[in-house]
Amino acid sequence: MGLPTAYRPVYSTPAPRTSKQRLSKLAAACVLLLLALANSPAAPGALEDAAWWLKSKRPLPSEPRERALALLETSPVIDGHIDLPILARAFFRNQVDEIDLDGAVRGHVDIPRLREGRVGGFFWSTYIMCPEDAGYPLDNDGNFTTPTHRVRDTIEQIDVARQLIDKHSDTFELTLTAKDWKRAIKKGKIGGMLGVEGGHQLGSSLSSLRAYYALGARYVTLTHTCHNALADSCGMQGTPITPRWGGLSPFGRVAVKEMNRLGMIVDLSHTAPSTASDALSLSLAPPIFSHSNARGVHAAVRNVPDSILRRIGRIGNEGREKVDLSKDGERGLGWGNDTNEAEKDIPSGDSLIMLNFSPDFISEWGEEGTRANISSLADHADYIGKLAGRQHVGIGSDYDGIGKTPVGLEDASKYPDLLAELIRRGWSDEEVRGVAGSNLFRVLQKVEKVARSQREVKPFTDIFEGRDDMKRRDHF
Ligand SMILES: [Zn+2]
């Protein structure tokens, strides 16, 4: 469809040749028109129309990849989970001098590829492995009080992330609020916050939680692959894990409240469904799943069950139909159908599932290797969109934290190809912008709003019940 003639000058269509005299007459007429618009009380709707006219931009290209790139100009990718700091630890002993992100760094992420992928920022994951992963027995039979180096190591990961941001301060910026992050993007920077990937990294202490916040952490994943003082984990695929708390522990419930008070996002990736359920019911601010997919598409323990997806995006019980989870896509693996899980409320009514690029969480492996590709990951987006709503989908690639990548999503330069696939599948421009980054900003702003509403609430000083070193006063 052609554009109305009157709008043509906005779209860089060459103006017909005119004499100097005609141009100046036109300019004078334009000035008069603008003055009239500014001074006269406009008819209702007229100014809105004018605003629409001023805001209108070049029509977006119809070719999906071109369109994705055009959308990313104003809504760049915000990735919920990138593991660059653990790569720095594992391969460079955190020696920042040896890591040049302006060049090609081993792994999936460096500045040229982030720029090519139209990235406006990401959460720098500060991850330290669980005790069990390192071959330790479960701390004190699950009392989680055995001293470890994990708080020290987490601080080292926070430090290396911040050093990398400082080293490349012409590109990166540590942005501590949604507003700062948007401002950084406008300046052409790649913004970012830190994320702590596991409650075990708190050393069973809320002081660590507050200290991490002060250092720039804006989410804590309640568990990694092990249970901890806060909550139960979903464990690892193929390794059954016996529940310890049956969801959030009493201490974990306080931790969620403290995160709400601070303005820290509650991250539910890696948690047991029972933990996710408890946190959704308790948290006043929307939690996220910073790097997870849908169990209904691929039955991996790390993926989000239908019962949880059914709760997200719903506010209140009005007009809700009973959900029969056995009819959903989990092929008999449904969880929560017997507990009316899908009917429970969540105070914030919001959450975000950020798509994980690990082939293990996308699809089955064939004899020839991974079958995961852009299309099979987009199946997860469609599925989550169907059950929870498309405004509850984001991106949390797990780049630099995964050994293998899907075909077509090999590194941080490839995000536009995923968004192009969603466009091909009929996702609207607004929905695609949401997946890229604006859904995350919506959640982040809500988390900040909840924190502002709790300014009068004092810090929670609860001590984990399993500790015996602070049981009584006058004890050194
Ligand atoms: Zn992870």
Q: How far is the CA of 269 from the centre of ligand 1 (A)?
A: 7
Q: How far is the CA of 317 from the centre of ligand 1 (A)?
A: 33
| Structural domains present in the chain | 77-453 (3.20.20.140)
Residue of 108, 200, 270, 298 with catalytic role: 270
Residue of 81, 108, 168, 298 with catalytic role: 81
Residue of 224, 298, 380, 392 with catalytic role: 224
Let me know: does 107 contact 87? Beta carbons within 8 Å.
yes
Q: How far is the CA of 201 from the centre of ligand 1 (A)?
A: 13
Q: How far is the CA of 326 from the centre of ligand 1 (A)?
A: 28
Q: For residue 160, which amino acid is it?
A: V
pLDDT at 314: 66
Q: Is-catalytic flag, 200?
A: no
Q: Is-catalytic flag, 81?
A: yes
Q: Is residue 439 within a helix (H) or strand (E), and if so which, with residue range?
A: helix 439-453
pLDDT at 399: 98
Q: Give how far the C-alpha of residue 88 lies from the chain's centroid of Cα atoms, to the nearest Å.
A: 22
Q: Is-catalytic flag, 83?
A: yes
Query: Which residues sit opposite 248 in a β-bridge?
Result: 231
Q: Is-catalytic flag, 133?
A: no
Closest CA to 192 of 206, 178, 207: 178
Q: Is-catalytic flag, 462?
A: no
pTM: 0.86
Q: Give how far the C-alpha of residue 105 lies from the chain's centroid of Cα atoms, to the nearest Å.
A: 24
Q: How far is the CA of 302 from the centre of ligand 1 (A)?
A: 9
Residues 6+ apart with CB under 8 A from 143: 466
CA atoms within 13 A on the CB side of 311: 26
Q: How far is the CA of 468 from the centre of ligand 1 (A)?
A: 31
pLDDT at 240: 80
pLDDT at 330: 66
**Tokens 């929307």 found at:** 286
CA atoms within 13 A on the CB side of 23: 6
Q: Which two tokens stand for residue 382?
A: 């469609």
Residue of 168, 200, 227, 291 with catalytic role: 291
Q: How far is the CA of 155 from the centre of ligand 1 (A)?
A: 18
Q: What is the b/e burial string over 272-281, where b = at least 16 CB atoms within 10 angstroms of the residue's CB?
A: bbbbbbbbbe
Q: Is-catalytic flag, 330?
A: no
For every one of its 476 residues, what pLDDT tens digit does the chain have, with 9 covering 90 and above? 333 323 222 222 233 334 444 434 444 443 333 333 333 333 333 333 333 334 446 689 999 999 999 999 999 999 999 999 999 999 999 999 999 999 988 899 999 999 999 999 999 999 999 986 665 656 556 678 887 899 999 999 999 999 999 999 999 999 999 999 999 999 999 999 999 999 999 999 999 999 999 999 999 999 999 999 999 999 988 888 889 999 999 999 999 999 999 999 999 999 999 999 999 999 999 999 999 999 999 999 999 999 999 888 765 555 566 777 777 766 556 677 778 888 888 998 899 999 999 999 999 887 777 789 999 999 999 999 999 999 999 999 999 999 999 999 999 999 999 999 999 999 999 999 999 999 999 999 999 999 999 999 999 999 998 888 887 777 66
pLDDT at 290: 98
Residue of 278, 398, 400, 431 with catalytic role: 398
Neighbouring C-beta atoms of residue 159, cutoff 10 Å: 15
Q: How far is the CA of 356 from the centre of ligand 1 (A)?
A: 9
Q: Is-catalytic flag, 398?
A: yes
